[in-house]
Structure formats: structure tokens, C-alpha cells
Amino acid sequence: MLFSSISFLYYFLAAVLLIYFIVPFKAKNLVLLIASLFFYFYGEPIYTLLMLATTLSSYIHGLLIDHFRGTKWAKVFVWTSVASSLAALGFFKYSDFFISNVNNLFGGSIPLLELALPIGISFYTFQTLSYTIDVYRGEAKVQKSFVRLATYVALFPQLIAGPIVRYTTVEEDLSSRTHSFENFSCGATRFVLGLAKKVLIADRLGDLIASFHASDEKSVVFYWIYAFAVFLQLYFDFSGYSDMAIGLGRIFGFRFLENFNYPIVSKSIAEFWRRWHMSLGSWFRDYVYIPLGGNRVSKWRWLFNTLVVWMLTGFWHGADWTFILWGLYFAVFLVLEKFVLNKFFAKIPRVFSHIYVVLVILISFVLFSANGMAGAIADIGGMFGAGNLPFWTRETGYYLAGYAVLLVAACIGATPLLKTAVLKLKEKSRIANNVINVLEPIVVVALLLVITSYFVGGSFSAFLYFRF
């Protein structure tokens, strides 16, 4: 079931909200758990059992780790928890990748399993891992209620495409949380704005990308338009989903951490990754990078740690060499920045560091979205005129004119410009503050009506990160 659909917005969500706010607090987690299981079962009937099995495994491992705390058995159980969770993720997500590479390397003919990827498995696996590891570290109390732990894992607002919510973030909310009109209003506004990002911007950019792929008259400029469209679509699609998840969480009394912070304004790749998919970056930092030694090691060991973390970051996104290369691509620039580029950019105008970041990002997401290695080489080559590609064609002008307003609006929307302007107006003028407060719910309702019209016309698509 998609957030961006009539069935979710006007049937499922409406019913869940009605029941949730009628029942007493002690029943609210159970209502959310049942609703979340139905939500997942609606799209993944069989794999609902896999999610429950993963949750049960983490629940039992948490109890065992807590019971044997301070003994060698606690370490044994945290490792069996990690191994079982990663084994399930590896089997369902990466089996065919490894089989294909073994066949290619040794000329074998092992048949592919061709398993359907369970939606959200990359997200809920990392959440269950963070739970058992944090219990072992003593950073989280063991959860003795299976309903509460299952509610945390299955919570439908963030179940299938993140952000990766750690147990410690919602530990207290699971047993005691506040509901208020303010939380409901802020959450609903955030949800609608995220939905608008997805439906009105990301999906429309998807139309431009589809037109690019269908075109027989590509040009260098068209490839660069495509690169901008790919990055902006990914940003608005994924940050839009994160906004919706955060908004829904707020409605139900949960405070999820932010997942995006205007990454396009970054002055370095290191800063970009502090602003992009923040929950994933912090997860790899705390559960992989720091345990490997972080940066408090020798130069060569730091280099090894960096390459491992970014190879795994790429591989987490998908079972293809393009994703691994994508992760290592960022690792190379992070190494260059640490030893060379930061010193260079400190001596020149800041605008050049912004241009550098945008160029690196655009190329990276063309690689990220490519159809295999051959497609990546062709797409990136096209950006630089490979194969005697023309610089400009009439069709390029047609699509540029048709999507110019959307591209400009998306570029502005990807920066904090509008948010900053609104906040400054509210601070400087009491009248402006009152007008904005009156207009805000009107704008939100208007957006919801426009979005609904797209739903009625069948103009909506799945979130891009469902694939991961």
C-alpha cells in the first residue's frame, strides 16, 4: 500500500486514526501493531512472516543478552543475533548477486533463486540490529514486551523506506508518549508537504526521466538535464517519504529524527553525507566505522575503515556492482578531501566548492540510477560527449522548455531558501506572522486537494527506495 494513494490516505489512515484515538493508551501500541501488520500484509503477504520472525529473533536475543549480561554468553548471543539478521538479509537480497558472480567467475551454471525482495527488509533489519547491539552495549534497556518491540519494528509510517529509526530514539515513546492537537497539526502538515514533494515534484521529474530514456535524439545537454532530474527526483522522493514518516510519527506521538537537511547546499562531500540520508550515515558510523577504530587509528587503517564503510553503504542500497562502485566513488572523494581538496578549497571562493560538490553528486547519482555497469558507462560518457554525441538537439530544447519551471522550482525547493524566508518574515513582523499562520492550513488543504486530483487520475508511483 502506497502512502501516495487513495486507499491509504482516505481509507486505511482514516480508519487507523479513528480507532487509535478512541482506544485507551494501553491499547494504542496494539492498534498500531495490528494496523502495521495489515499495512505490510497488504503488499507482502508471505514476507510478513519473515518480518515477524526477524522481530521474534531480536526479542529473544535481547532477553538472552540481558539475562547473561557480563558473561561470555552475552557476546555469543549478540553475535548470533547479528548473524541471523544479516543471514536473512543476505539470502533474500543478495543471493542472486553472489550466484551470478560465481557463475561468471568460474563458468558455472548455478540457477538463480529469483526471490522477490521483501519490501523494507534493509530498513527493519538495521533497526533490529541496532536494538540487540544497544542492549548488549547497555545503551538501551531490554524490552520485555513483545508487542512494544514488534510495534517499534513494524511501525507503518517508517517501515518500508525509513528513516532508520533506532530503538533508543523511541524507547520512551513506546511506553509513554504525549498526544496533542499541536502534535497532530504539525504532523499532518509535515505529512502533506512530504506527499507534495513526492507527487507534485518527484513523480513529475520521473516523467522527464522516462522521456529521456525513450528519446532517440539525446545530446550532451540532455544528459546533463537528465542528471539533474535524477538527483532531484531521488531527493524529493526519498526526503518526501521521510517527511511523511516523521509527520505520521508525530501524529501518533513519536519523535523520529530528521533524515535530510538540504544536502544540495553542502560545501564538501563529507558535509553532503552529514545532510543526506542521515539515519543511514549515522548507523554505519556507530555500528561499523567506530567499532573498526574510526579515525583514531593510523592513516592506512583509517583508509581501510573508510573503504569498508563506503563499500558496505553502497552494497546496502542494492545487489549490483554499480552500487558498490557508487559507495567507493564517495570514499575516494572523502579521502581526497581529507588530504588534498579541503586545503585547496579553503584558499578559493566558496562558490567553487559548491560547484565541485554538485558535479560530484550529479555524476554519482547517474551511476546510482544506471542499468548495470554498461549503462553507467554509457550515461556518464554521454554527459561528456562520448560517441560523437551532439551538444544540442531540437528535442533537447523541447524538453528543456517543457520542464524548465519544474526544474527551477525543484532546485529552489532543495535549498533552505523558502523556509528561511518564511521564518524571517514571521520573526520581523507580527502581521506577517499572523498572516502566515492563517495561510498555512489553507495552503496545506489546497495541496491535499491538488494531490487527491492526481490520485483520482491514477497519476502516482511507488517510492524509489522501495527497491532498497
- Residues tagged active-site: 317
Q: How far is residue 334's CA from residue 310's CA, in Å, rounded to a whole number?
A: 10
Rounded CA-CA distance 114/98 in Å is 12
CB-based burial label for 171 (10 Å; 0-12, 13-18, 19+): middle
Which residues, other chains included, contact 184 with Cβ-Cβ below 8 Å and sequence gap of 6+? 250, 251
Residues 6+ apart with CB under 8 A from 140: 131, 134, 167, 168, 171
**Position 292, amino acid:** L
d(CA 249, CA 32): 11
| Cell numbers that stand for 200 in this block | 507534485
For residue 51, give the C-alpha cell.
Answer: 518480518
Which residue, chain included where needed, has cell 535524477? 230
